[in-house]
Structure 1
Amino acid sequence: MNERCAVDVVICGAGAAGLTLAIDLARRGITFRLVEKNAEPFHGSRGKGIQPRSQEIFEDLGILDRLFAVGGVYPTERRYRDDGSYTEADSIERNASTAAEPYQQPLMVPQFLTERVMRERLLELGHRPEFGCELVAFEQDDEGVSVQLASAAGTQSVRARWLVGADGGRSFVRHALEIGFAGKTLGVRALVADVQLSGLTRDCWHRFGEGDLLRQVAVCPLAGTELFQIQAPIALEAQVDLSAQGLTAFIAKRTGRDDIQVHAVSWASAYSMNARLADHYRVGQVFLVGDAAHIHPPTGGQGLNTSVQDAYNLGWKLAAVANGAPETLLDTYEQERRPIAASVLGLSTQLLQGMQRGDMRRGRDVHQLDLGYPQSSLALGHAERVGNRAPDARLRGAGGQSLRLFDLFKGAHWTLLGYGVAPGLVSPRAGLHIHLIGAHGEVIDEQGQFQDAYELALGEWVLVRPDGYVGAIVSSGSLQSLEAYLLQVGLSPVLP
C-alpha cells in the first residue's frame, strides 16, 4: 500500500456535481483529488436541461458560452394524433431576458457534453478526474478522513480534511455512513435511449400517445449532436430490448409507424423513478452532494441542476474554513440545501403527475431563480430580501465603460456594494471586493436598474456571497453587525 500526501478534499464521483465542486475548489487554490470508479466518463444524455439559475452559475465558472455553443434551445413539440395529424405547441415558456434575470429559458445540452465542457475547464485550472479509481473504505476522526482508494495501480491511502460523496443515487459514501434515504419508488418505470434514427425531422420534439401510459413515446433531437433521445414509460415488470432492432419495434408498436428506424444505440437505460432525500447531508468531516443526497424523477429537469447548486454552495464554504473561517460555517450547507431539495422533489413529483396526464408545460417554477435561503443563519437584515438570489443589473463604470453586476460578482470573492455611501467606512480585507455605487462612486447606476433590483436606501450596503446570494443588507449606522458577519465567514480586516 502506497501512502500519499494529504489533500484538503477528496471528491468521490466525477459527474456534474463532483466536477462543479472540483472547478470551484481549483479556482480557490484548495487541494483535492477527484476520483471516479468508472473507467471512462458517462456518455449518456440523462440530464439535458440547464436551468436559468445554473446558467448563471456556469457563467461564473467560466463555461456558459461554451455550453451555449455546443447546446441549443428546446424545440417546439409536435403532438401526433392517432390518424397521423398533429398539433404543434411550445411547452417551454419563451420569455425575454431582463437586466435582473439575463437567462430566462432552459438550455438543452446533453449531459455528456456538459460534463465534457466541465472537464475541459477543470483541466485549464490544472486538474483532471482520476477515472478507474474507486473509493473502497474510509475512516474519519475529528481532524479529517483517511480514505482508501483502489485502481489498476493498486491500493493507496489518502489523508484528507474532508470527504465529499458525489457518487450518485447508490452512493457508497451514504451507505457507509448509514444515512437514511427516505422517500419512495414512484411506481413509474421508463426507458431512455440516445440513438441514431431516420424517419423523423430534427426541427421539433415528436410526441406520440400523450395521456396514455401504455402508448406514450417521445423522440427529441439532442442539441449539439446527430442523436435523438427516446423517452417512454414502460410497465413495471417489462423486459425491454434496448438494441437498435428492439427500439425500432418498440417505436413502431407505440406509433403505428414503420418508417422510423433506429440504426444505432449510443446509450440506453430502463429505470424506475424514485423520489428520495437523505436524512443528513453531513456526518463529521464527510458531506453528500447531488444524487447521493437526493434523487428526483426527471420531469422538469431539476436533478442535475439541484446537484450543481449543492456543489456551488459547499465549495466556497470548504475553502473558507480551509483558510481559517470558523468550522461552524459548514453547518450551513445542510441547513440551506436540504430544504431546497425537499421542495424540488415535490415539484418534480407534481410535474410527473402532470406528464402522465399529457401536461408538459414548463414555466418559471422549474427555472430555480426563486430558490434561496431566507431562513439561513447566514442571512442578516431585511428579512424579505436577504437570502435571495442576487439580481444582475446593467451599470456604468466611472470611466464610462458599460458593465454588469455579474461582472463584479464573478470569481471566488465576496462582494460588498455601498449605495450612496461615503468611502472608507468598511476596512478592506482579503477575499472581499468593495464597490461604491452612486454619483461619486466608481460605479454609476445610470439607468436605475440596480435600485430597481435591490431597493436600497441611500447609505445602505448589500453583501453578496460567493455563490451569488444576498448575505446581508445593513445601513451605514449598523456596520458593527456587518463587521461581525464578515468575521463569521472568515473575512478578517487587514491589520496595518
Structure 2
Amino acid sequence: MPASVPPAPAPPVSVLIVGSGPTGLTLACDLARRSVAVRIIDRSPGFPRSSRAKGPNPRSLEVLADLGVADRVLAAGSAPLPMRKYRDGVPVADADPAASLRPTPAAPYAHGRLIAQWQLEEILRERLAEFGVRVELGAEAVGLSEAHGLVTVALADGRSIDARYVVGCDGAHSRVRKLLGVPFEGKTSEEQAMVCGDVEAEGLDRNIWHQWFDEDGAVMLCPIPGTRAGWWFQAGPERDAAGAPVPPSLESFRRLFAQHTRLPADRLTKATLLSAYRVNERLADRFQVGRVLLAGDAAHVHSIAGGLGMNTGIQDAFNLGWKLALVIDGGADPRLLDTYEEERLPVAAWTLDVTADRLRATLEAIRLPGGGLDTAVSGDTTGLGVGYPWSSLAGTGSTSRLRTGDRAPDAPCRDTATGRPARLFEAFAGPHFTLLGFGPDTAEPLRATEAAYGSAVRAYGVDAGAARDLGDDAGHARTAYGIARPPAPGTLVLIRPDNHVALIAPTARAHAVTAYLDRLTGAPTPH
C-alpha cells in the first residue's frame, strides 16, 4: 500500500491580517478591492457580539463611503443623541453637541454615527465577502519568523501561513506586537476605572443618552441602535471595603443603577459582554519590523474620551492599504511602506494628547451641575483636520486653502456629460490616484496622464472641457481648493488613493505630476 503523501503547502498569500475588528476588516476590504491576495484570521471561535466602540466619526464615514458601505452604516445606526444629565436622580440639563452641526459642501458628514461595533463589523464582513474573502476563525497566531522575503506565522493548532507581509490588527494585547518585541510604553490609570456592558432596560426614553452623576460616581446609559431594549452601560465601579473595584456583574450593575438613578434596580433585566476598563495611554515605539506592521489598538491605545480609538484604527488601515498594494502589485519601492509609520505614528501620538485632554476636561465638567460627556466632543474628534504635511510623500505646491498632505475636500458638482449631480468624493472613490484639473488649459495634461498611467490614475477636469469633466456651477470645488475663477493659469491637484493631497502644480509644471507618480509607481505603462 503506497505511503500517504502529505498535502502540498498552501502558496504564500500577499498579505495576512491578524485580527478581524474594524481595523483589520477595513484593511482587508481595501486590499481585496485592489485584487491583492489577502487572508484575515482571528483567534476567536466566533464573531463577538460586542458593542464597545460607539461608531465612526465623520472622517471614518468618508473612508467607509470610499469602501462602498457608508449607506449601510447610516441605515443601521442612528444620529448622535441628545444627552440628559442628572444630579441626585433629577434631570438638571440637556445637551446636544450635534444639534448645530450641518453638512458642508466640503464635508458631507456633519457628525458621526451611533452603531454597535458588532453591527459595523457585520457590514464590513459582508463587504469583504463580496470580494470573495472571509474571516478565518479559531486561528491563533503563536509564532513569527521571516526569511527569504516571506513571513511565516505559526498557529496554535500546528498549521502555519506564509505571507509576503503580515499586519497585526489584534488589539491592545496584540500577540503580533509581543512576538515582535516592540515596546508599548505608556501608563495605566488605576484611579480612572470603569465597568461596561450591554444591558437591557425598560422604561427609559430611547431618544436620550442618559447620564447620572453624583459626588461618588456615575452611571451612563445610551441606547444601542437596532435593538428594542439594548443599552450601552458605563459606570464607575463599585469598590469593596479595601477600595478595590468589584468585578462587573448584573447584580453589581443593578446596585450601581439604583444608587445613582434612584430608579428600581430591576429595571435592568440582562447584562452581557461585561468588562472592566482602566484608562490606558500607550504607544508602540515603531509600527513596522521588517515585513510585519502594526495597526489600530495593536499600535496605540488611549482614553475613550472623544471616541477616537476605533476611528484611528480605521484611518490607519486606509493609510496602509494603498501603500501595500502598490508595493505588492504596483512595482513600488518597498520603502514606500516606511511612510506608513512616518505619517501615522505622529497622528497616534497626537491622538493620545487629544484624548487625555478631553478626559481631563470631562472629569472636571462632571463635577459641576449640568456637566457631562458632551465636553469630550470637539473639532479635533471629527478626524477631518488630520493631514500629513510633514510627510516625505507631501509634494510641492499649495493654495490659499490647501497644503500638500491635507485631507482632500469634497464638493458638489455637475457631470457635464449627463447633467446629473456629481461629487468629488465620487470621483476619488476606488483604488486609484485622482488628478483634478481646474481650468481649460489642464485638459491636455489630464488626457496625457490618464493615457500614460491607465487605471492607476483617474483624471477629471473642473470646468476644463476635459473628456471626464465636472461643472463647478456654484463654485464649491474652487472654494474648497482655494483656486480662483477663472484659474489662469490652470491648476492640477493630484489626490492620493487615501484622499489626501499629494501635489499641487500649475499647468506649466504638469511634469511634476508624472515625476511624482513615477517615483511611487515606477515607469508609466501606456494603455
Scaled to the shorter chain, the TM-score interval is over 0.9
Q: Report the 3-state secondary structure (helix = DSSP H, G, I; strand = E; otherwise coil) of the residue aligned with 2:246.
A: coil
Partner residue in 2 for 1:412:
431
Q: Quote the offset at 1:478 in angstroms.
A: 1.8
Gaps of 5+ in 1: none
CA–CA separation in structure 1 for the residues paired with 2:129 and 2:100 = 35
Alignment of 1:89-488 (within 5 A): 89-92=95-98, 94-141=100-147, 143-150=149-156, 154-187=157-190, 188-209=192-213, 212=215, 214-226=216-228, 227-234=230-237, 238-258=244-264, 261-323=267-329, 324-357=331-364, 358=366, 359-360=372-373, 361=375, 362-382=377-397, 385-399=403-417, 400-420=419-439, 421-425=441-445, 426-427=448-449, 428=451, 429-430=453-454, 431-441=456-466, 442-456=469-483, 457=487, 458-488=489-519
Q: Quote the offset at 1:32 in angstroms.
A: 1.4
Q: Report the 3-state secondary structure (helix = DSSP H, G, I; strand = E; otherwise coil) of the residue aligned with 2:90.
A: coil
Runs of 4+ that moved beyond 4 A? none
Relative to structure 1, the CA distance from residue 147 to residue 113 in structure 2 (aligned partners, 3 Å threshold; closer, same or farther) is same
- What is the TM-score with the length of structure 1 in the denominator? 0.95
Quote the RMSD (CA, aligned, Å): 1.8
User: After superposition, what is the alpha-carbon deviation per residue over 1:7-65, rounded to whole angstroms, capped at 9, x for unaligned?
Assistant: 10110000110000100011000001100001111211111131000000000111111
Relative to structure 1, the CA distance from residue 422 to residue 205 in structure 2 (aligned partners, 3 Å threshold; closer, same or farther) is closer
Gaps of 5+ in 2: 1-5, 367-371
Q: Quote the offset at 1:266 in angstroms.
A: 2.7
Relative to structure 1, the CA distance from residue 296 to residue 93 in structure 2 (aligned partners, 3 Å threshold; closer, same or farther) is farther
Q: Quote the offset at 1:407 in angstroms.
A: 0.9
CA–CA separation in structure 2 for the residues paired with 1:72 and 1:331 = 38
- What is the TM-score with the length of structure 2 in the denominator? 0.90
- Opposite residue 487 of structure 1, the aligned amino acid is D
CA–CA separation in structure 2 for the residues paired with 1:336 and 1:286 = 17
Q: Quote the offset at 1:240 in angstroms.
A: 2.8
- Opposite residue 511 of structure 2, the aligned amino acid is Q
The answer to which of 261-270 and 102-111 deviates more is 261-270
Q: Share of identical aligned residues, percent?
A: 38
The answer to which of 48-57 and 264-273 deviates more is 264-273
Q: Quote the offset at 1:451 in angstroms.
A: 0.5
Q: Quote the offset at 1:491 in angstroms.
A: 5.6
CA contact (8 A) 1:78 1:205 kept: yes
CA contact (8 A) 1:199 1:260 kept: no
CA–CA separation in structure 2 for the residues paired with 1:242 and 1:423 = 64
CA contact (8 A) 2:184 2:283 kept: yes
- Opposite residue 221 of structure 1, the aligned amino acid is P
User: After superposition, what is the alpha-carbon deviation per residue over 1:278-315, rounded to whole angstroms, capped at 9, x for unaligned?
Assistant: 00000110000000000011111100000000011101
CA–CA separation in structure 1 for the residues paired with 2:338 and 2:521 = 14
CA–CA separation in structure 1 for the residues paired with 2:294 and 2:281 = 16
CA contact (8 A) 2:254 2:265 kept: no
- Opposite residue 125 of structure 2, the aligned amino acid is R
CA–CA separation in structure 2 for the residues paired with 1:440 and 1:423 = 6
Q: Report the 3-state secondary structure (helix = DSSP H, G, I; strand = E; otherwise coil) of the residue aligned with 1:308.
A: helix
CA–CA separation in structure 1 for the residues paired with 2:442 and 2:122 = 47
Q: Quote the offset at 1:143 in angstroms.
A: 1.1
User: After superposition, what is the alpha-carbon deviation per residue over 1:309-368, rounded to whole angstroms, capped at 9, x for unaligned?
Assistant: 001110110000012111111110000000011111111111111221225331322101
Q: Report the 3-state secondary structure (helix = DSSP H, G, I; strand = E; otherwise coil) of the residue aligned with 2:396.
A: coil
CA–CA separation in structure 1 for the residues paired with 2:479 and 2:266 = 52
- Opposite residue 59 of structure 2, the aligned amino acid is R
